[in-house]
Structure 1
Amino acid sequence: MLRLARGLSQAGLVGQGMSTGYLSRLESGERPPTERAVTYLARRLGVDPSVLTGPSDGRPLTGILAAVTSAPPGADDTSALCRAVEEDAGEDPAARWQALWLLSRAADRDGDRELERTRLAELVDLSDRLNAPELRARSRVQFARCARSLGDMRAAEAAAVEALCVARTEELAVADTLSALIALIGVETELGKLEAAGRHVAELERDLLVRAAPAQAAEALWTAAVVSSRQGDDTTARTRLETALSLLEGRDDLALWTRLRVAAADAALQMSPPRVAAAERRLGEAAAVLRLVGTPGQLQEVRALEAHLAFHQGRLDDARALSQALLAEEDLRLSYRERVRLSVLDGRLKILADRADEGIAALRRLGRQATESANLDLAAHVWQSLATTLADVRPHDTAPGAAERPGSGRQRDRCP
């Protein structure tokens, strides 16, 4: 039913991962599906696996939605909501929008970016049909964030620009305008459009920041700090980050509280020279919380940062073990940028371990891929990492202590 609703042939659904003959036997009921087959087909169809296996409870979407939104903390009715959305006849578009919004947030928490993108794409279309300005702006902001996490910067920029245009044209609330502006600044920074990002940061600080709630103001300052860092102004970046961190306590918004500390640790390691002690302190604060309540994706992000921290502390064996174990995981939920940076670290470690040809080839491949996908800021990081690492292993740099602290920033001025 789902395949036909999407206009797919059997061959179009199975792709390269399954035979059409096997799918035909599944569809006819001749063979029961394996768990692996269910997972694969659910991903291809853009639905939760429970949609293919769980029975319907007969309740309409509005009834399921009411149950989900009123559920006590810790209750998980995602599967029921997935089934209700798939069986929904579309009689209440507003209820469907709310259900898809909840499901997209669940996919985000689970780190399933492809499923999140599928949900958000329908949200964008549905918000246009509803002709609701707030929903149009919010769905596009989330789509931009998701596309950015997937490394699709062109789609991310288009969605963020549209969201900001809707917010300004319809004169939406400060929160919606600021949210769209934050999303656009983040995309522009990764695209290497630092001049445009700087102008938007100035607008943000001049017109919106003083009217923002503390949580959103903290996120805005964090985003502005990244722009300052990319512009080489580490002093302003540190000031903005420290201000952002001071705006929130854990009891205000624990999720954002931990995100800000992870971001502060990451930013500290990318400064010149890296602020290793500050990074270790902030990462320790976040990790203590996330190891108790963090999602699998958040825990992977912590482990990736621990690998980067170990590298900057000169603990190369620890950095190598952490990065290789994480890259070998079958269900890697890091964002595109985080995956590339972890792969860059792995390449640098190969060069420093006398596997220069292998490491150089890997970094060149990553640099080309980032450039071709318009992730210019990330591409610059790749090429700079390659140049710095090659400088670290030059014969005249092998004096005592020269190679024990790679990435210390002492070679940065030599990078092209």
Structure 2
Amino acid sequence: MTEEASFGAHLRALRQKQGLSQAALAGKEISTGYLSRLESGTRQPTERVITYLADRLGVDRSAFFATDTGSSLNAAVSVATSTDGDDAVEAVVAALASAQDDDPLLRWQALWLVARFHRRRGQHVEEKAGLAEAVRIADGLALAALQCRSRTELARCLRESGDITEALEHAVVAYRMAKEANVGLSDTGKTLLTLVSVEAEAGRLPDARAHADELVALVGDRPDALRAEALWTAATVRSRQGDDDGARTFLQQAMESLDSRVDPVLWARLRLAAASLYLYARPTLTEPARACLAEADKALSLVGTPVQQQELLTLQAQLAFEEGLFADARSILDRLDFDHLALSYRDRIRLQLLESLLLIEEGQREQGLTRLKELGAEAHRDSNVDLAAKVWRVLAEVLERSP
């Protein structure tokens, strides 16, 4: 954290502790606008101003630069929640490492910020550790809303990491808590979103469909991101049940329900989801897939994260493969660093499935077959029933074809 940002956070905390407004503290010597900029960290104080404010607050000037862990974490969280940049969150990460005895609500908020920071980077191990601690704190506080949010996010993270059994346990508990505590539509909706996704990965498709339908009914006709995600989730379940027409209908409704200005990242992700649906349909629908990928590419070039860029490249390679452009598919795959993938577990398996099939098309049949067998065994071992079935089905299709 910069010195001026630390000064501003301490200044705001001292003012609020004494119940003073910005106007009351500013007095006649400085303007409230200048004081506001000091508190936000956008202006650096002069020595005269530091002395003036210390006198007004009745504290020693050193109070503005205190380094105790509680104040450091409070200051870091205050700055991070008032800015959009990740630099401020990195200060929260540093403060968390040294702060152990803080107010539990403050620590929960810090862990929540840091978990979202790790998610944007595809850092599942770090995200999972922080969310697990957030769950423990929320349980200790016995605050239903925080318990639901913590468990829902942990379940989502575990699902993306491939830990389906544990993810299902947390998702079921979060859903039960949401229903019992009546936490509100937003939290209940997000809990259902995660539960449906985990149930689908676990192969519990009837349960997933029932909960997906409950979710769609819950959100109604709200023109917002939650409704778009609900329709997307319903589409995913129907796709895995083999109902491609129903899946396309729901996904089309999701895309039409969300304006790109409301949530440009989700808008692009819906296009990626549609492209995936078209590419994995049988027969493959390459034309609409190409159109969706073109729209997603344009949007993600402006707002995309590294994870979403990897998702885009994976689908572009899949499109090239489906069109028989194997050299193009290989060229796209070469742009991905397989040792540092930030993709979800499911997308990583799909990527490796594509790479295995490409090896076979390139004349390396035995190597490709071995990779397919390993992928199927891995998905089965990780209790990802749906994904394991897909890999085994592809392997069987390859073996049926003559060498």
Same fold (TM over 0.5): yes
Which structure has greater helix proportion?
Answer: 2
CA distance in 1, matches of 2:120, 2:104: 24
CA distance in 1, matches of 2:166, 2:333: 29
CA contact (8 A) 1:174 1:211 kept: no
The correspondence for 2:352, drawn from 343, 348, 363, is 343
CA contact (8 A) 1:175 1:212 kept: no
Equivalent AA in structure 2 for residue 118 of structure 1: A
The correspondence for 1:68, drawn from 80, 91, 101, is 80
Measured on the aligned residues, the alpha-carbon RMSD in Å equals 1.7
Identity %: 41
How far is the alpha carbon of 1:212 from its aligned partner?
A: 4.9
Structure 1 segments (4+ residues) deviating >4 Å: 56-59
What's the counterpart of residue 195 of structure 1?
Answer: 206
CA contact (8 A) 2:231 2:251 kept: yes
What's the counterpart of residue 11 of structure 1?
Answer: none
**324 and 383 in structure 1: CA distance in 2 versus 1, 3 angstrom threshold:** farther
What's the counterpart of residue 394 of structure 1?
Answer: 402
The correspondence for 1:94, drawn from 105, 127, 131, is 105
Gaps of 5+ in 1: 1-55, 396-416
1:215-264 deviations in Å (ceiling 9; x for gaps): 10100110110111111111110110000001111110112111111111
1:166-186 deviations in Å (ceiling 9; x for gaps): 001111101111111111111
Equivalent AA in structure 2 for residue 359 of structure 1: G
Does 2:317 correspond to 1:307? yes
Give the secondary-structure state (helix, strand or coil) at the position aligned to 2:87.
Answer: coil
The correspondence for 2:166, drawn from 155, 166, 182, is 155
Equivalent AA in structure 2 for residue 356 of structure 1: R
Gaps of 5+ in 2: 1-65
**201 and 390 in structure 1: CA distance in 2 versus 1, 3 angstrom threshold:** same
**118 and 212 in structure 1: CA distance in 2 versus 1, 3 angstrom threshold:** farther
How far is the alpha carbon of 1:320 from its aligned partner?
A: 2.2
What's the counterpart of residue 181 of structure 1?
Answer: 192
Equivalent AA in structure 2 for residue 340 of structure 1: I
Equivalent AA in structure 2 for residue 62 of structure 1: N
Query: What count of residue pairs does the alignment treat as equivalent?
Result: 336
What's the counterpart of residue 181 of structure 2?
Answer: 170
The correspondence for 1:106, drawn from 98, 106, 117, is 117
Which protein shows a greater Rg? 2
- Note the 1:213-232 alignment, pairs <5 A: 214-232=224-242
Give the secondary-structure state (helix, strand or coil) at the position aligned to 1:310.
Answer: helix
How far is the alpha carbon of 1:387 from its aligned partner?
A: 2.4
What's the counterpart of residue 125 of structure 1?
Answer: 136
Give the secondary-structure state (helix, strand or coil) at the position aligned to 2:235.
Answer: helix
What's the counterpart of residue 355 of structure 1?
Answer: 364
The correspondence for 1:297, drawn from 293, 296, 307, is 307
CA distance in 2, matches of 1:346, 1:389: 14
How far is the alpha carbon of 1:211 from its aligned partner?
A: 6.5
CA distance in 1, matches of 2:178, 2:67: 39
The correspondence for 1:139, drawn from 150, 162, 165, is 150
CA distance in 1, matches of 2:231, 2:360: 36
Equivalent AA in structure 2 for residue 286 of structure 1: A
What's the counterpart of residue 80 of structure 1?
Answer: 91
What's the counterpart of residue 367 of structure 1?
Answer: 376
Structure 1 stretch displaced more, 331-340 or 128-137: 331-340
1:80-105 deviations in Å (ceiling 9; x for gaps): 11121122243311111111100000
Q: Could you state the TM-score of these two structures normalised by the residue count of structure 2? A: 0.80
1:102-141 deviations in Å (ceiling 9; x for gaps): 0000000011111000110001101101111000001111
CA distance in 1, matches of 2:247, 2:221: 21
Give the secondary-structure state (helix, strand or coil) at the position aligned to 1:91.
Answer: coil
CA contact (8 A) 2:272 2:296 kept: yes
